[in-house]
Amino acid sequence: MTNFTYSKDLPDSLDLGKIVAVDCESMGLNPVRDRLCVVQLSSGDGHTHIVQIEKGQKKAQNLTRLLKNRNVLKLFHFGRFDIAILYSTFGLLASPVYCTKIASKIARTYTDRHGLKNLLTELLEIDISKQQQSSDWGAKTLTKAQIEYAATDVLHLHALREKLNEMLERENRANLANECFKFLPFRAALDIKGWNDIDVFEHYNGFINDQVANQLFKYGFLP
């Protein structure tokens, strides 16, 4: 396994194939407030390509070309955040996409443990460390531990997708998952545009509780 690191963008000649695992590291978990620091990618060949994004950077020609390429499937784990922060930074919605966390939630309804570490342990018998998850990703030079952590977040997504797809097909849930993947970029866009805490499909959008809603319904104030 080799971890290739780059500054600002992917190299011109790099071809990562038709299915690319993507993950992002940032200064925090708010894609509006916190800046994108690192984007790591893998074609599933055991190697990773890690791009450091500079503060204030808004362009990365080769990276964004890949993200918006309709002929390349982008694999994420909790893609809602990654797609949102990529959109906030570069102004584009990655598509088409696949999210292993969504796939897990639809396939593995026997558990509420859908973190990447849990998935890799159960489905691939791989144990990874999440120790570097909270660290200074905006540092000018990444540590060896940070680089190795970033790599583990994308190295196994191809194999994980295969396992989850088998489960989705077996349980007749593949079509449902695929429709969720299609909507995911727009869910991420809603997060950036201000609907991050609002379920647009919810009738009351959380502004009134169920008890109040029942009373309003009882007296004819709600349909």
Lowest average pLDDT, out of 16-30, 113-127, 168-182, 199-213, goes to 199-213
Q: 32 is written with which tokens?
A: 């509006």
CATH H-level, domain 3-198: superfamily: Ribonuclease H-like superfamily/Ribonuclease H (3.30.420.10)
Q: Burial letters for 63-75: b for 16+ Cβ neighbours within 10 Å, e otherwise?
A: bbebbeeeebbbb
Does pLDDT of 8 surpass 60? yes
- Number of Cβ within 10 Å of residue 143's Cβ equals 12
Q: How far is CA 216 from the centre of its chain?
A: 39
Over residues 71-103, the pLDDT tens digits come to: 999 999 999 999 999 999 999 999 999 999 999
Does pLDDT of 28 surpass 80? yes
Does pLDDT of 6 surpass 90? yes
Note the pTM of the prediction, 2 decimals.
Answer: 0.90
CA distances from residue 28 to 107, 127, 159, 212 in whole angstroms, order as listed: 29, 24, 28, 36
Residue 90, H or E segment: helix 79-90
Phi, psi values for residue 73, rounded to 5°: -85, 125
Taking the C-alpha atoms of residue 135 and residue 180, their distance in angstroms, rounded to an integer, is 31
Q: What is the pLDDT of residue 200?
A: 83
Over residues 30-75, the pLDDT tens digits come to: 999 999 999 999 999 999 999 999 999 999 999 999 999 999 999 9
Residue 79's nearest CA partner among 173, 161, 170 is 161
